[in-house]
Amino acid sequence: MAKCAFLGLGVMGYPMAGHLVKAGHRVSVWNRTISKSDQWQGEFDGKACASIEEAVDEAQFVMICVGDDPDVYEVAKPAIAALGSGAIIVDHTTASSECAREVYKLANQAGIGFIDAPISGGEAGAVNGQLTVMCGGDTEIFERAEPIISAYAKATKLMGPSGAGQLTKMVNQICIAGTLQGLAEGVHFAQKAGLNMEDVLEAIGKGAAQSWQMDNRAITMNRDEYEFGFAVDWMRKDLGIALKTAADIGANLVLTEQVDGYYGDVQDMGGNRWDTSSLLKRLTNPK
């Protein structure tokens, strides 16, 4: 059993912190909106805190799950200042690799371990404790943190030094973007051709075209339903990070850049909070 703090109780962080309690850890939580912390405390056997400093007091492990680079800095810096030497911070935010490396340095200067650990699996993965976690950092720190992370993860892997977890998450989002655009075009074509989508999926869903997105999103796309998790606004944030990094390292992401623009079209349609499978909307409702 470990003393843990969880900072950020959004769609992902809320159930993740709950899994830590279920695994037997002592958990304190903090969220910008205090009522969310109070709600969590009412559901789980943990402690809601009014400040970051209170939440991380005597913590051995601190989990962060917030929005973007500025949020990570805003939360991590006071946590580092308040933590004792030997503690470990695990940042589950999808952020830039530069942010990860900078916070890693700040933490190490204070005698604190730091792992960048972005997650994949969506809200369902967080609720069911079945997330995939891509980590960057020092081996010894990772080996200490991995048993704690396993409370809400089905797979956790150290990808390399600080920043490698974030770079791997970029690869994840690049692949998802291309897959979803292909699936959107396939569904659109099937609709225009007058095919029964369920029959199409039965025919092609066990072959080379099969993917998680096809298994879980093709039918809902065909029904024009886009309320299933990861929002377009967040995907554009993630793809923006990937595209900036690609420019820095000289990687050619032609398709990713196109799909990012397509998500911009979806935002222009008012689809900021639609899930990422909503790429079909711009094909069925052209400008």
The alpha helices in the chain, defined as continuous H runs, are 13-22, 34-43, 52-56, 69-82, 97-109, 122-128, 139-149, 164-192, 197-204, 212-222, 232-249, 254-268, 279-284
Cβ atoms 118, 92 nearer than 8 A: yes
36 an active-site residue?
no
Cα 189 → chain centroid: 31
Distance CA 33, CA 18 (A): 17
Angle, in degrees to the nearest 10, between helices 164-192 and 254-268: 70
Cβ atoms 178, 256 nearer than 8 A: yes
Cα 20 → chain centroid: 18
End-to-end CA distance of the chain: 56
Written as one letter, the residue type at 156 is T
Strand, helix or coil at 85? coil
Tokens linked to 168: 């791997």
Identified catalytic residue from 3, 105, 154, 169: 169
CA-to-CA separations, 267 to 152, 209, 245, 281, in angstroms, rounded: 32, 28, 23, 11
Strand, helix or coil at 58? coil
Catalytic residues, by residue number, are 169
